[in-house]
Amino acid sequence: MELGAYYSMVMSNLMLVLTVSMVSATYLLMRKMRGKKRLPPGPGLALPLVGHLHLLREKPLHVTLAGLAARHGPVLSLRLGRRDAVVVTSLRLAKECFSTELDVNFANRPRFPSAREVSFGYTGLSAASYGPHWRSMRRIATVHLLSARRVDLMSDATIAGETGAMVRRLARAAAAASGGVTRVELKRNLFELSHGVLMEAIAGAKGTRDGSDADMSKEAHEFKKVVDEIVPLLGMANLHDHLPGPLRWLDFGGVRRRLTELVNRRNALMHGLIDAERQRRPQEDHATDELLPESKSMIGVMLSLQESDPQQYTDTFIAALVTNLFGGGTVTTSATMEWAMSLLLNHPDALQKAREEVSARVGHARLLSREDLPHLPYLQCIIIETLRLYPAAPLLAPHESSADCSLHGYHVPAGTMLLANAYAIHRDPSVWDDPEEFRPERFDVNGADGQGQQGMMMLPFGMGRRRCPGESLALRTMGLVLGTLIQCFDWSRVAGAEVDMTQASAKILYKAVPLVALCKPHDNMQTMLHKI
């Protein structure tokens, strides 16, 4: 080895040692200073640079965190790379965080580098910190875009139309199959339906399938592909977000480069929708600050607001909100419906009970409608029990404290990330009888066990100020779709084998193995299915 090369290698190693030593000394000094106040318990001394990240290698993350909580208590302190974090795994502590004065303190979001890329510079509804911008975006979402009236209209037209289209495709596939029974990959069908509902509601776009019977349109397939590749790169799911600034520039695993490429593809889709809607709008349509007609698409509503206040409602504002609505309303709703059908197939008695309820209420001469849902309590129990066992966001979107506070008698410094483990809370044996079992009856308010009120003890849509504004739309969609699938078809498992309930390791609680089931039109629905 040449002397110059050897000298360069020695100096490089020396600089690395000095850097690690300085970071470690700074970290230990900060912990010592903060140690004067009683922090929540944790799993021992954190390692330099990575903190406790080495303890989180097992997947899924929400299961690992539940295991740590079982050893250290329902409020857990962790060091995740450069961030302090607190994890809560009890309903009482979640309520303390999100239904008391602490809710305002925990209303911020941590600023992950990946979130900057995905959320248009932290301006999206889910990533923006608490303040005027977030309140404005939240108001638009709840008052103009996801109001009760708009959800009702979407139920009667958009959701019903997409559900009818899916039923028609399944019926045609079964008719063409041997024995009148077809194999169906429900994940694709349910995603396409959820995407179609939002595509029409948000952008006013119809006919994305071009009249074909394909499982998924090209446009929906592209969007799904982008979302599926983005999700594993976000937040708690990657090391890149937790490393100190200088180390992040090394771009371990090419996270930053890959994320930039995917976000550019997604943004092109979103801006294309905005431009298309702008071209469709009548030139004479002028907006006011008053409540706008629900008949407009959501982008149309925001473009009308843009005319009255272009500085506030920019194209970036619209794209950020549209992206949140698509991302939050497609994968989460379709994933939950896939879990529900999987549970029903593994519990045929529950499936039969649901079919009998739907048949008694709706009959066989028409498809289930929005007006039927309040009269189908067991169907609602199935949905709630599915959300309990498999919440779409098992770790609620992370919060961050804006000031020092006290939680459960422990000190939580400003800037601490708060994670609420909904998955663990929903399976807490101190709250739920037989928490691992699928028992929809536990939510029956008229049931013999009298446990119907436990429906109030869950947080699949979050709690407090940051609660998901799309909750009503999601529940309505799931009720109409699941009820119609149960009404129209006989469902069974492939070769009688138990449905695989393994969970994927992702920010969204997906099934690791997509659900494939056997579908046959229900005998009493044959005449009706020929009409749609």
Binding site feature residues: 468
Structure tokens at 310: 């272009």
How buried is residue 10: exposed, middle or buried, by Cβ count under 10 Å (0-12/13-18/19+)?
A: exposed
- Phi, psi (5° rounding) for residue 249? -70, -15
CA distances from 198 to 30, 99, 216, 461, 474 (A): 47, 30, 14, 18, 11
Binding-site sequence positions for heme: 468
Task: Give dist(CA 103, CA 213) in Å, integer.
Answer: 47
Give, to the nearest 10 degrees, the angle between helix 255-280 and helix 298-308: 80
Residues 6+ apart with CB under 8 A from 502: 511, 512, 513
Q: Give Cα 119 to chain centroid, integer Å.
A: 15
Structure tokens at 109: 């979001």
| Residue in 29, 23, 60, 28 with CA at minimum distance from that of residue 46 | 28
Task: Give dist(CA 376, CA 440) in Å, integer.
Answer: 13
Task: Give dist(CA 75, CA 38) in Å, integer.
Answer: 13
Task: Give dist(CA 87, CA 69) in Å, integer.
Answer: 8
- Which of the 8 DSSP states describes residue 142? I
Is residue 40 within 8 A of residue 410, CB to CB? The reply is: yes
Structure tokens at 431: 């709250």
Structure tokens at 58: 């097992």
Is residue 85 within 8 A of residue 52, CB to CB? The reply is: no
- Phi, psi (5° rounding) for residue 86? -125, 130
Is residue 276 within 8 A of residue 303, CB to CB? The reply is: no
